[in-house]
Amino acid sequence: MKRFITAIAFAALGMVPIVHAAPSGTFRQAHEVGFGNASDVDPISKGRVFAITEKIMNRLVRPGIDGKPAPDLAVSWSSNAAATEWTFKLRENVKFHNGKAFSSADAMYSLKRVLDPKIASPARGTVSMIKEVEAPDAKTLKLILIAPFADMPLVLTDYRLMMVPDGSGDTIKNTGIGTGPFKIEKLDPQGTTVLVANNDYFDGPPGVAKMEIIGIPDEQARFQALMGKQIDLMQGITRQQRQLLERSGSFSLNDIPTGNWRGIVFRTDTKPWDDPRVRRAVRMAVDRKAMVDLAAGGAGVIGCDTPVGPKDQYRSAKTCAQDIAGAKALLAEAGYPNGIDLELPVSTLQDVWPAMAEAFQQQVAPAGFRVKISQVPSDGYFNEIWMKRPVSMTRWNDRPADTSLNEVYRSTAKWNESFFKDAKFDALLDAARAELNFDKRRAKYIEAQEYLWVNSGTLVGFHATVITATTGRVKNFDLVENMGIRWHKITVD
């Protein structure tokens, strides 16, 4: 009987709804100070430290845990039938850290700042389809676009499109006043930035009372800080580091597939890569599974040269095996029966590049590609080598499907690294953008990706899987790509 009562008591305890406890404890995280002295907390500046802005500010739309757009400061949205006008209903009762209420004027100001050519924000290209921003009333925001765009909400999930108070452009880089779950107590991007819980946060008080965002430029030093439990989170540790942490047993380790990809790009405006058959042949000759195993210890997801991430709703599921005979045939057809010599410049800017290059060299050799690997400095790689040499290593960070297809492959894109100019591909993208029916739109985006597999000049080796380590005391940490993490849900013991 006694045992029975105890059992009931335990069961009852288990059923008690989880009451929101007051924020408690400190969560510590390091960032790499990639922007040095230019580091600030203006979300659209060249030196934005997103490890801080993502915790103090909100977007209109955020990437949901399922990968689809989810409400943030906008609660719902709709468009006209042509997908050229979008209306966003904004959240009620949201306050900035300075007490001012958030309204459409702030949202309009924040987006117009990004579009301002004088500010020349790196985020400007992301929202280039916006022609006009309007605020019909205090809780409604209207976007008028240059051309139809069915996935406008997805675009607004970009981590830089944070909402700041109307007119705060000159001060935001130092104040960091946003609507987010944490407020800045002390800002020092190169030292330790201290954030405190915003108890008025619209989704309830956050789980931890304090966050310390510590600038540690050296990768090894960051890892040592994690080992000594001076920080609670490190994203992107190596396989070797993982083994060390596993042995200690007091860390939680997770593989998180991301949309970050590593590849090799062939300029389609230079010989011999101007012939689609040649660039297809070199990509066909690659064994992608072996490449990801060799270069990243298997920590990656392979596909058929699509830049769209493995978790994206528009990802093409196509797979492609190594095809040496097919590659040879294509080469002969294109007029290169004796093969092709090429030089591949490699730097250590990305840790997997050298191993990737060597795997590539071995794999494509039987098809007749004689690859000469040359070492180049990491410093200034993107200015001296990338988009300059006929062949070079490349890397891209996570972007929504439409953004990566547009930024990397559209004829007019400034980052069109393979100089891929194809009117048919552009038309496919336009058609997808104008399609409001999800299934039909998805079919069009997949068609565009498969078109790339046949024609593009970009070898997408794999999408990197990030190993994330947290100390054992961290709970409720979302196991998703960084930009989708709900920082206010985290608690610490």
Partner 1 sequence: MFKLLLRRILLGGLTVAIVSLIIFGAVEMLPGDACTALLRQDAQGDTLRVCREELGLDKPATSRYLDWMAGAVKGDFGLTAHRNKEVSELVGDRLKNSLLLGLCALALGVPLAFALGIAAALKRDRWLDLIVSSLAIAAMTIPEFVSATLLILVFSGWLSWLPGIVTASANAPVSAFFPQIILPVVVLAMVMTAHILRTVRSSMLEVLDSDYVRMATLKGVPYRRMILRHVLPNALLPAINVVALTVAWLLGGVVVIETVFNYPGLGRLMVGAISDRDLGLVQAIALIVSTVYVLVNLSADILSLLANPRLRTSLGRSH
Name the residues that contact partner 1, by CB under 8 A: 28, 33, 35-38, 40, 46-47, 117, 120, 122, 186, 188, 190-192, 212, 214, 216-218, 220-221, 224-225, 227-230, 248, 377, 379-380, 382-384, 386, 414-415
Closest to partner 1 by CB, 39 or 103: 39
CA–CA distance, 202 with 72 (Å, rounded to integer): 10
Smallest gap from Cβ 239 to partner 1, in A, equals 19
Is 489 exposed, middle or buried, given 0-12, 13-18 or 19+ CB atoms closer than 10 A?
middle
Among the listed residues 152, 193, 299, the one whose alpha carbon sits nearest the alpha carbon of residue 239: 299
User: For strand 61-63 and strand 251-266, is the pairing parallel, antiparallel, or unpaired?
Assistant: unpaired
Residue 243: which residues within 8 A CB-CB, separation 6 or more?
Answer: none
**What is the C-alpha to C-alpha distance for residues 406 and 151, in angstroms, rounded to an integer?**
13
Nearest distance from C-beta of residue 458 to partner 1, angstroms? 15
In angstroms, the CA 313 to CA 27 distance is 32
Residue among 374 and 476 whose Cβ is closer to partner 1: 374
Nearer to partner 1, 38 or 317 (CB): 38
Taking the C-alpha atoms of residue 320 and residue 450, their distance in angstroms, rounded to an integer, is 11
Q: How far apart are CA 448 and CA 296, in angstroms?
A: 28
Smallest gap, in angstroms, from Cβ of residue 26 to partner 1? Answer: 12
> Token pair of 60, please?
């209109």
Nearer to partner 1, 26 or 140 (CB): 26
Choice between 167 and 380, CB closer to partner 1: 380
Q: How far is the CB of 231 from partner 1 (least distance, A)?
A: 8
Phi, psi of 391 (to 5 degrees): -130, 135
Between 76 and 224, whose beta carbon lies closer to partner 1? Answer: 224
**23's tokens:** 């924020």
| Backbone phi, psi, residue 231, to 5° | -130, 160
CB of 480 to partner 1, least distance (A): 24
Output 67 or 457, the one with its CB closest to partner 1: 457
Please write down the HEC assignment for all residues of 251-304. Answer: EEEEEEEEEEEEEEEECCCCCCCCCHHHHHHHHHCCCHHHHHHHHHCCCEECCC
Comparison of 221 and 479: residue with beta carbon closer to partner 1: 221
As measured in angstroms, the least distance from the Cβ of 69 to partner 1 is 25
| Distance (Å, whole) CA 45 – CA 324 | 47
Q: State the nearest-atom distance from the C-beta of 244 to partner 1, in Å.
A: 9
Rounded least distance, CB 160 to partner 1, Å: 11
Least distance CB 380 / partner 1 (angstroms): 3
* Contacting residues for 146 by C-beta, under 8 A, at least 6 apart: 128, 129, 130, 131
Contact (Cβ atoms closer than 8 angstroms) between residue 320 and residue 485 = no
Cis check: omega of the bond before 217, within 30 degrees of 0: no
Q: How far apart are CA 176 and CA 180, in angstroms?
A: 10
- What is the identity of the amino acid at 224? Q
DSSP structure string for 75-139: EEEEE-TTS-EEEEEEPSS-B-TTSPBP-HHHHHHHHHHHH-TTT--TTGGGGTTEEEEEEEETT
Nearest approach in angstroms of CB 309 to partner 1 is 18
Cα separation, 311 vs 464, in Å, equals: 12
Closer Cβ to partner 1, 379 or 493, answer by number: 379
| C-beta of 93 vs 250, nearer to partner 1 | 250
CB of 474 to partner 1, least distance (A): 17
* For partner 1, the closer CB: 28 or 463: 28
Chain position carrying tokens 């891209």: 396
Q: How many residues does the chain have?
A: 493
Question: Minimum distance between the CB of residue 85 and partner 1, rounded to whole angstroms?
Answer: 28
**For residues 219 and 323, which CB has a smaller minimum distance to partner 1 in the complex?**
219
Distance CA 86, CA 296 (A): 42
Residue nearer to partner 1 on the CB measure, 50 or 382: 382
Q: How far is the CB of 481 from partner 1 (least distance, A)?
A: 19
